[in-house]
A and B are shown apart, each in its own frame.
Chain A
Amino acid sequence: MPRQGPEEQDQGVSTPAPSAPPSPASAFPAPPRLYRKGSGRVLGGVAGGLADHLGIEVVVVRVVFVLLAATGGVGVAAYGLLWVFAPQDPFETVSPRDRGRDLSALLALGSLTAGGLLLMSALGIGVRPGVAVPLLAVGIGVSLLWRQADDASRSRWRQVTGTHRLSGLARAGIGAALVLIGSAPFLAGGPGRLAGSVRGLVAALIVAAGLALVSSPWWVRMARDLSAERSARIREQERAEVAAHVHDSVLHTLTLIQRHVDDPRAVARLARAQERELRGWLYRPGGTAPDPELALGAALEGVVAEVEDTHGVPIEVVVVGDCPMDEGLVAVRDAAREALVNAAKYAGGAAVSLYAEVEPEQVTVFVRDRGPGFDPDAVPEDRLGLRQSVRGRMDRHGGRAVVRTAPGDGTEIQLEMPRGNGRATRSTP
């Protein structure tokens, strides 16, 4: 048994609160997340990642992309979107060999752009060479910038030597320059050849689109980084808060309990107080306990905690409904405290319970113990507890107290108070 002790205790402490349950035992494991693959990629690793995600051959994916691209360009759009929004596989380190593919990626992209332009001219969407060449330039520029914004490249600039950073900057510069060159014919020829204001507008739009395209990788990345960072920070904060709370309360109490092993009453009191505190913390998210000065339920719980602490008797509390405190209810609270103290003192350690119910017209509180009970007529006149503190207090505030007891049958004290008594005296007793 002593061997098992610590293990059990450890288990008890570390069992987490009801967390998200693990997915039910199903035969199908969840498919792997969609990532872009760094190894064996031709362009952005989209096809490879998609193949892993769907569990099919990468060749099939590539063929489908090419077919979709050839029949109307949907494939290109889909590929582009996936490239932007699928994160790079974080569990994969890119081998140097794959880095060498940057060039081939560039070639692939360039040829794609060229092919698209040729296709357009073949279809008769008159693309003059004067436009096609700048467009091609823009395409290559954009592709360079895309490469630059790639997750892996970014981290590479950070950690590795200045040459990489230089090359990154160079790439950014070249990309921007190409965009400018691409848009130059539109801008320069504006007033002369492209006399129509519509054409000027189109040119402006193209430039704007180019700039948006060039800058979008940073926006996307920035948004991604920001949300990832924020959720990490929140998690960290929560963990720190839980750790702090456990340290301040539970660990502290456990230490105290170990110091008081010879005093069962003290141990019981400590454990009970800690339990109450922990419950309040667990089941009242936000950690904001209702103010005992404001709500009846909290007021009664506060009284119960006080009596439990001073007398070391566990008290069960059930409160149905709740309402704001007023003058009459303060009397109820104080009378209930007195009744609880009586029960704790004279019930001989038997169970004590408090039940309170808030109804539209009145508030009723029952304090019950399973102690020996007593004969009300045999109580000497000078014992003030019940007579003054409970009955007198209730009477003064327009309520009433009823005591039910008999020797051997326990005691129950019933407190009744009409609602709205303290604020407006409209109630007729």
Chain B
Amino acid sequence: MTDNSNASSASHASHASPEEGAARPPRTVRVVLVDDHRMFRSGVKAELGAAVEVVGEAEDAAQAVAVITATRPDVVLLDVHLPGGGGRAVLADLTTTMPDVRFLALSVSDAPEDVIAVIRGGARGYVTKSITGPELTLAVRRVADGDAVFSPRLAGFVLDAFAATTDVAEVDEDLDRLSAREREVLRLIARGYTYKEVGKALFISVKTVETHVSAVLRKLQLSNRHELTRWATARRLV
């Protein structure tokens, strides 16, 4: 089920450094869709705008690894629950071998442990499947440009997880804490603000908002406390 229809348009491969997001050239983002429901994949494909080109699809973990390795997309839209080990297995297989490929988790799951696990596994963001088409397109672009994407729900989880441990005295590592500014940004995102609205409310630029969010993502991924996962697990049992 891999459509390699883009074989002719190999010009996309010429983008050398995706970090230069300042100019935002209108190049199309090459995307692989990984989800075990065909109907959902076709729905997402229809909703993604013209700025995004779907170069491959996969319905389980093993197929995803094969398709992603073959097509080398910019962004992978990854379902959290997949046959064959879930999104985590795909991330574990590919994040080290293909550091240029960025992953955006897309899931119906509300369970914090699932969400935190894929983020810690290397995904650049998490959005719920209820996201609208234009928002999803924007999120894909952001991830392609190297930024992080936080849905309100993920922002809530992160606030919860980090708040749960700030009063623990032994937390001294900088990674284990959110700065006051990061907390403010996350709070606004959790309230449903777009990055632009967050910038407006805090009198900072969208770029600065993106910087803060990326910093939070890094902390979430690198913070080596087990508490994050334990928090997530405990939340589910509450």
> In the complex, what's the smallest C-beta–C-beta distance from B18 to chain A, in angstroms?
30
- Interface-forming stretch among B98-106, B186-194, B217-225? B186-194
Interface string of A1-42 (1 = CB under 8 A from B): 000000010011001001001101100000000000000000
Is B175 an interface residue when CB atoms closer than 8 A count as contact? Answer: no
User: Interface residues of A, CB < 8 Å — how many?
Assistant: 28
Chain B hits for A370, CB < 8 A = 192
- A159-B39 Cα distance, complex, nearest whole Å: 52
Chain A hits for B190, CB < 8 A = 318, 320, 355, 357
- A357-B184 Cα distance, complex, nearest whole Å: 12
Is A399 an interface residue when CB atoms closer than 8 A count as contact? Answer: no
> Which of B62, B110, B114, B163 interacts with A25 by CB under 8 Å?
B62
Residue of A nearest to B62 (CB): A25
Is A253 an interface residue when CB atoms closer than 8 A count as contact? Answer: no
Is A257 an interface residue when CB atoms closer than 8 A count as contact? Answer: no
A18-B81, A319-B156 given; A12·B191 CB < 8 A: no
A25-B62, A283-B236, A355-B191 given; A318·B155 CB < 8 A: yes
Is B153 an interface residue when CB atoms closer than 8 A count as contact? Answer: yes
- Interface-forming stretch among B5-13, B70-78, B84-92, B140-148? B84-92
Is A285 an interface residue when CB atoms closer than 8 A count as contact? Answer: yes
Interface string of A307-341 (1 = CB under 8 A from B): 00000001010111110000000000000000000
- A283-B114 Cα distance, complex, nearest whole Å: 11
The residues in A between 294 and 315 inclusive whose CB is less than 8 angstroms from any CB of B are 314
Is B56 an interface residue when CB atoms closer than 8 A count as contact? Answer: no
Is A416 an interface residue when CB atoms closer than 8 A count as contact? Answer: no
> Which of B84, B86, B152, B163 interacts with A355 by CB under 8 Å?
B152
Chain A hits for B37, CB < 8 A = 8, 11-12, 15
Chain A hits for B111, CB < 8 A = 283
Is B160 an interface residue when CB atoms closer than 8 A count as contact? Answer: yes
> Which of B89, B109, B153 interacts with A24 by CB under 8 Å?
B89
- A373-B153 Cα distance, complex, nearest whole Å: 24
> Which of B86, B192, B236 interacts with A285 by CB under 8 Å?
B236
Is A366 an interface residue when CB atoms closer than 8 A count as contact? Answer: yes
- A339-B81 Cα distance, complex, nearest whole Å: 35
Chain A hits for B97, CB < 8 A = none
- A164-B189 Cα distance, complex, nearest whole Å: 76
Chain B hits for A366, CB < 8 A = 191
> In the complex, what's the smallest C-beta–C-beta distance from B101 to chain A, in angstroms?
20
A11-B37, A314-B130 given; A353·B89 CB < 8 A: no
> Which of B38, B109, B160, B191 interacts with A321 by CB under 8 Å?
B160
Is A193 an interface residue when CB atoms closer than 8 A count as contact? Answer: no
**B236 close to A8 (CB less than 8 A):** no
The residues in B between 172 and 215 inclusive whose CB is less than 8 angstroms from any CB of A are 187, 190-192
Is B237 an interface residue when CB atoms closer than 8 A count as contact? Answer: yes
Is A368 an interface residue when CB atoms closer than 8 A count as contact? Answer: yes
Is B94 an interface residue when CB atoms closer than 8 A count as contact? Answer: no
> In the complex, what's the smallest C-beta–C-beta distance from B66 to chain A, in angstroms?
11
- A412-B188 Cα distance, complex, nearest whole Å: 12
**B39 close to A12 (CB less than 8 A):** yes
- A355-B237 Cα distance, complex, nearest whole Å: 22
Residue of A nearest to B112 (CB): A283
**B160 close to A22 (CB less than 8 A):** no
> Which of A8, A12, A21, A353 interacts with B84 by CB under 8 Å?
A21
**B39 close to A8 (CB less than 8 A):** yes
> Which of A21, A25, A316 interacts with B130 by CB under 8 Å?
A316
> Which of B39, B62, B109, B156 interacts with A320 by CB under 8 Å?
B156
Residue of A nearest to B154 (CB): A318
Residue of A nearest to B159 (CB): A320
Chain B hits for A423, CB < 8 A = none
Is B53 an interface residue when CB atoms closer than 8 A count as contact? Answer: no
Is A279 an interface residue when CB atoms closer than 8 A count as contact? Answer: yes
Chain B hits for A316, CB < 8 A = 130, 152-153, 192
Chain B hits for A412, CB < 8 A = 191
Is B47 an interface residue when CB atoms closer than 8 A count as contact? Answer: no
- A318-B191 Cα distance, complex, nearest whole Å: 8
Residue of B nearest to A7 (CB): B38
Residue of A nearest to B160 (CB): A320
- A316-B129 Cα distance, complex, nearest whole Å: 12
Closest 4 CB pairs of A and B: A318-B156, A353-B192, A355-B191, A8-B39
Q: Which residues of B contact A (CB under 8 A)?
A: 36-39, 62, 81, 83-86, 89, 109-111, 114, 130, 152-153, 155-156, 159-160, 163, 187, 190-192, 236-238
A-B contact pairs, 23 of them (CB 8 A): A15-B36, A15-B37, A21-B83, A22-B83, A24-B84, A24-B85, A25-B62, A283-B236, A285-B236, A290-B238, A314-B130, A316-B130, A318-B152, A318-B153, A318-B155, A320-B156, A321-B160, A353-B191, A355-B156, A355-B191, A366-B191, A368-B192, A412-B191
Supplied contacts A24-B84, A24-B89, A320-B160, 6 more A-B pairs, CB within 8 Å: A11-B38, A24-B85, A283-B110, A320-B163, A357-B159, A366-B191
